[in-house]
């Protein structure tokens, strides 16, 4: 049977793999992120100014107006949340999806029967990603409902703002038009949409058992009434409903009956190969195959608290590439990227982990950018511009003689601009922590002065609250945005809104 | 087994992303407008108190 996906995208099967494109984080997507950050900054600043004025007025007007000031504060938080949600949404919409023939068929069945598609499977099997990829592929709007234990069916349909109506009444406003106090929820918006949308009800098993039962009628009828106004909201275009579940608990039988059900198996090595290639097209075959073999070996180990999933696999490959690893052999480089529990790390890596760290101590004097406790952020002088791969032994020897050693932190994601209480932490692509073993009370300033004295500091990173303008963005992640300013300086904007720029250390300063 | 890769067309994504960004800007502008309304309520209340 030929299905819609075969007919619409089947022609892509013959496309040369190198032509498979994703918008890389360093280009268009970053540009979108930069623009969205500017929008967030602008909105935050405006709401902040309003809030400050409101707080001053509150001093005059008293506690009575506190709820209004609270609402302003909520709006400020909402802006930040919207910003974060936008980024996640864009990343999801940017992800290509490797669709198996079975899943393509199931999608078509759900479409023909006009029934919600219930996808079950362990976390990381691409249930939510599928909904977003479909939205991107079919150019359809997507509405996402993230279920929590507190999510109610009613809030998905609509809410009626009684408080606002009361406030308006107190202010003498006309409150007779009730529709102005109705706020449609995600399901309500999906029904009211003038275009067919994809509605993803994510992790339904996290909501209370009643939640799914309560939605049955509305999902069947594709309509509901707003009690307060008597208005009926009926779907003009039946949304494509995708419900996901991690199978933390069984769903009620009536729900199962009304859905087209599919259990997504964890991708097999062949499919995983395609997934990695789709996300990281420039991955070397040798690295890919050896990493996939190791990945599935790890997944087969009994007793893991959390088996590594696809997203961890993708992260792992990215990290291995960044570390310049060409092939995975017996040792497991960067296991903390794959395994999220200490017990799992011990189970899989065990004593190997210790050896690995010890070997790093000798082999990895790869300090490029460092945060030194005491508030100094520096770029160290190197003999080679490729210091990542050609360690500068003079730095290492100096630091080793002073009792410092390099280790890999437990979680590479812990990289940050925060000043560590001890030691030095690398903050660029590769993250290493340098801990002071000899004397934990040693002042970071001592290390800073030592490096300075030995003419090993190329530049210092200065931290400022004053916004710096990006003319080019090179990298953006959950912790910082990195790019260049008008003076071609490398600048960063950290997640807490601080700006960091690089200032060359001239010899006079060192000698002085 | 023949796998199909969907959502990998850069040009399509560019247009989509711009639209998403525009919608995002509108949503945030709505929040700013709400905050303006709230502040105006306080200003009016303050004027009445004078």
Q: State ipTM.
A: 0.94
Decide: residue B48, CB within 10 A, 0-12 exposed, 13-18 middle, 19+ buried: exposed
pLDDT confidence of residue A96:
92
Rounded to whole angstroms, the Cα distance separating A291 from A154 reads 46
Residue A477: the pLDDT is: 64
Q: How many CB atoms lie under 10 A from the CB of residue A219?
A: 22
Place of tokens 């511009």: A385
Q: Is the residue at A166 inside a domain?
A: yes
Q: Supply the DSSP symbol for A302.
A: T
Same-domain pairing of A202 and A121: yes
DSSP string of A22-47?
Answer: ---TTTHHHHHHHHHHHHHHHHHHHH
- The pLDDT, as a whole number, for residue A226 is 95
Per CB-CB distance under 8 Å, the chain A contacts of B14 are: 23, 28
Domain match, A67 and A126 both: no
In the DSSP assignment, the letter for residue A204 is: G
Judge whether A57 is closer than 8 Å to chain B, CB to CB.
Answer: yes
Unique residue bearing structure tokens 């050609």: A390
B21 and A82 in contact by Cβ < 8 A?
A: no
For residues A280 and A217, membership in a common domain is answered with: no
> Is there a single domain that holds both residue A175 and residue A292?
no
Q: Check whether residue A245 and residue A135 sit in a common domain.
A: yes
Asked whether residue A396 falls in the same domain as residue A488, the answer is: yes
Chain B within 8 Å of A105 (Cβ-Cβ)? no
CB A231 within 8 A of CB A89: no
- Name the DSSP letter for residue A419: P
Q: Which of A314, A349, A384 is the last residue of a domain?
A: A349
> A249 and A291 share a domain?
no
Q: Are residues A306 and A249 in the same domain?
A: no
Contact A47 B31 (CB under 8 A): yes
DSSP state of B4: E
Q: Which domain holds residue A295?
A: 269-349
Pair A416, A491 in one domain: yes
Q: Per-residue pLDDT tens, chain A, 512 aa: give them.
A: 444 444 333 333 333 333 334 444 447 888 899 999 999 999 999 999 999 999 999 988 888 888 889 999 999 999 999 998 999 899 899 999 999 999 999 999 999 999 999 999 888 889 999 999 999 999 999 999 999 888 888 999 999 988 888 878 877 889 999 999 999 999 999 999 999 999 999 999 888 888 888 888 888 889 999 999 999 999 999 999 999 998 877 888 888 889 999 999 899 999 999 999 999 999 999 999 999 999 999 998 888 888 999 989 998 998 888 878 888 987 888 888 898 888 888 888 764 444 444 333 322 223 334 444 444 556 666 554 433 333 445 565 666 566 554 443 333 333 332 323 333 444 333 333 333 333 333 445 566 677 677 777 777 767 677 788 888 887 776 566 778 888 888 787 766 677 777 777 765 443 43
Q: What is the CATH number of the domain that holds A157?
A: 3.40.50.300
Same domain, A233 and A293: no
A5 inside domain: no
What is the Cα gyration radius of chain B?
22
Instruction: Provide the token pair at A79.
Output: 């802006």
Chain A positions touching B7 (Cβ under 8 A) are 93, 95-97, 132-134, 136-137
Distance, in angstroms, between B17 CA and closest chain A CA? 7
- Which residues from chain B sit within 8 angstroms of residue A65, using beta carbons? 42, 45
* Residues A475, A482, A314: CA angle, nearest 5 degrees: 30
User: Does residue A256 sit in the same domain as residue A142?
Assistant: yes
Give pLDDT, residue B33: 94
From chain B, which residues contact A within 8 Å (Cβ)? 1-10, 12-14, 16-18, 20-21, 24-25, 27-29, 31-32, 34-36, 38-39, 41-46, 49
How far lies B23's CA from each of A149, A150, A158, A237, A284, in Å?
29, 28, 21, 21, 38
Torsion of CA A403, A404, A407, A409, to 10 degrees: 120
Rounded to 10°, the helix A285-299/A310-322 angle is 140
d(CA A36, CA A223): 34
* Alpha-helix runs per DSSP H in A222-284: 253-258, 269-279
Q: Let me know whether A147 and A244 are in one domain.
A: yes
Of A12, A22, A28, the CB nearest to B14: A28
The pLDDT value given to residue A376? 55
Alpha carbons A486 and A31: distance in angstroms, whole number: 16
Most A-contacting residue of B1, B10, B13 (CB-CB within 10 A), to test interface? B13
CA distance A76 to chain B (A): 8
Q: What order of strands is seen across the sheet that includes strand A376-380?
A: A404-407, A433-436, A424-426, A369-372, A376-380, A457-464, A499-504, A490-494, A480-484, A472-476
């Amino acid at each position: 049977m030929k299905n819609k996906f075969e007919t619409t995208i089947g022609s892509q099967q013959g496309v040369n793999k190198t032509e498979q494109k994703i918008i890389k984080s360093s280009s268009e997507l970053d540009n979108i992120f930069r623009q969205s950050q500017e929008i967030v900054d602008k909105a935050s600043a405006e709401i902040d100014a309003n809030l400050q004025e409101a707080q001053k007025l509150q001093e005059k007007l008293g506690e009575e107006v506190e709820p209004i000031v609270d609402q302003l504060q909520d709006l400020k938080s909402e802006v930040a949340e919207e910003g974060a949600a936008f980024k996640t949404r864009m990343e999801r919409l940017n992800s290509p999806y490797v669709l198996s023939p079975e899943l393509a068929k199931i999608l078509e069945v759900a479409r023909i029967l006009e029934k919600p598609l219930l996808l079950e499977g362990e976390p990381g099997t691409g249930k939510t990603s599928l909904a977003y990829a479909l939205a991107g592929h079919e150019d359809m709007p997507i509405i996402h409902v993230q279920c929590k234990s507190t999510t109610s069916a009613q809030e998905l349909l609509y809410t009626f703002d009684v408080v606002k109506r009361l406030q308006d009444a107190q202010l003498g406003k006309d409150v007779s038009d009730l529709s102005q106090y109705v706020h449609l929820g995600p399901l309500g918006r999906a029904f009211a949409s003038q275009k067919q949308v994809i509605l993803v009800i994510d992790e339904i098993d996290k909501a209370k058992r009643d939640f799914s039962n309560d939605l049955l009628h509305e999902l069947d009828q594709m309509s509901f009434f707003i009690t307060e106004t008597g208005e009926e909201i009926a779907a003009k275009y039946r949304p494509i409903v995708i419900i996901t579940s991690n199978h933390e608990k069984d769903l009620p039988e009536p729900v199962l009956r009304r859905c087209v059900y599919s259990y997504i198996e964890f991708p097999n090595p062949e499919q995983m190969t395609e997934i990695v290639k789709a996300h990281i097209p420039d991955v070397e075959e040798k690295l890919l195959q050896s990493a996939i073999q190791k990945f599935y070996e790890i997944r087969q180990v009994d007793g893991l608290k959390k088996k590594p999933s696809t997203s961890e696999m993708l992260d792992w490959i990215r990290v291995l590439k960044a570390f310049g690893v060409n092939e995975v052999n017996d040792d497991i480089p960067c296991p903390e990227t794959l395994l999220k529990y200490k017990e799992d790390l011990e189970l899989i890596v065990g004593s190997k982990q210790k050896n690995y760290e010890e070997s790093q101590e000798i082999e990895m004097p790869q300090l490029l950018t460092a945060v030194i406790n005491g508030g100094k952020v520096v770029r160290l002088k190197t003999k080679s511009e490729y210091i990542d791969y050609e360690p500068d032994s003079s730095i290492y020897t100096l630091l080793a003689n002073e009792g410092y050693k390099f280790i890999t932190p437990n979680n590479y994601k812990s990289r940050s601009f925060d000043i560590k209480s001890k030691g030095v932490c690398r903050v660029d692509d590769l993250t290493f922590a340098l801990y002071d073993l000899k004397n934990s009370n040693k002042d970071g300033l001592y290390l800073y002065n030592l490096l300075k004295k030995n003419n090993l500091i190329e530049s210092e990173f200065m931290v400022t609250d004053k916004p710096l303008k990006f003319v080019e963005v090179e990298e953006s992640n959950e912790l910082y945005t990195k790019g260049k300013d008008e003076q071609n300086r490398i600048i960063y904007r950290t997640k807490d809104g601080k700006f960091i720029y690089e200032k060359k250390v001239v010899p006079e300063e060192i000698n002085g | 087994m023949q796998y199909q890769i969907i959502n990998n067309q850069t040009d399509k994504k560019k247009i989509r992303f711009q639209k998403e960004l525009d919608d995002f800007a509108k949503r945030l502008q709505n929040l700013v407008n709400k905050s303006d309304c709230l502040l105006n309520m306080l200003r009016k209340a303050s004027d009445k108190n004078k």
